[in-house]
Chains A and B, each alone.
Chain A
């Protein structure tokens, strides 16, 4: 399925090397990034010696660290980054609830909260 990533005309040529493949599992999922982007306050980035640029130059959309502010700004101009920004602006990525709804199920129903009022019986199926 798909094209050989090592092919000379492939756009994913740089991503087939073992370092790129190793990083594949460390990357955040799209749904995580989507929720993180919608958090109002951002914490200052922690200093990490192992990351490029001590972990100070970070692109949240692409989940990537850069060595300096210049390189990061260059990254902001790339097509890959712009594509991701556009993607993250849109609706939330597909999740299990979406899959269930598409399969003809309703939204999860756990009844009313138990803690607030003690004498609540969970919603039984009496409506038939």
Chain B
């Protein structure tokens, strides 16, 4: 049993999921869900659609070249069963997954590194540019035309409900 990858979004297709399209030259296209299938039918390019893995990798949003990606591969040659190899492989899978997650988080951190200082810089620039729009509180007090007129609070009035109930009784 193989876990295939979606042609459009590169997500894993588990058995019983998704749809296959076989073109008239016998080429097979596998899709994880109808969303990807529809996008394919519309002839959209996955490299230009922002939510696909192909886009994210191409535009440097995610870790691309790494040795941890070397383990999972399409191996079309059958191999003789060996208990030791299977055991080692399962061990390695867990270990490599850990390493991959660590590296990915590190990559994300380095990608987001300059953001905070950039935001700060932009904020400061905006403040400097439009400081004239801000009025000091003392100036507001001196000129009442700058503030909105105060809205009078609504006063609750008690309405006696007894009269209405007695009328209803009479009817």
A positions within 8 Å CB-CB of B: 1-2, 25, 29-30, 32, 93-94, 96, 98-111, 122, 124-125, 128
Contact = CB atoms under 8 A, between A and B. Distances in A.
A110 B56 CA distance: 28
Interface residues of B, number: 43
B70 A106 contact: yes
27 contacts: A25-B24, A29-B23, A30-B43, A94-B45, A94-B46, A96-B29, A96-B30, A99-B6, A99-B8, A99-B53, A99-B54, A100-B5, A100-B10, A102-B54, A102-B57, A102-B58, A103-B10, A103-B12, A105-B73, A106-B70, A106-B71, A106-B72, A108-B73, A108-B75, A111-B75, A125-B88, A128-B91
B87 to A, nearest CB: 11
Interface string B16-29: 00000001110101
A122 to B, nearest CB: 5
- Secondary structure at the A interface, as helix, strand, loop or mixed, is loop
Contacts of A122: 77, 79
Interface in B41-71: 42-43, 45-47, 52-54, 56-58, 69-71
Contacts of A108: 73-76
Contacts of B88: 125, 128
Contacts of A102: 10, 52-54, 56-58
Nearest to A104: B69
Contact of A104 (B72, B74, B91): B72
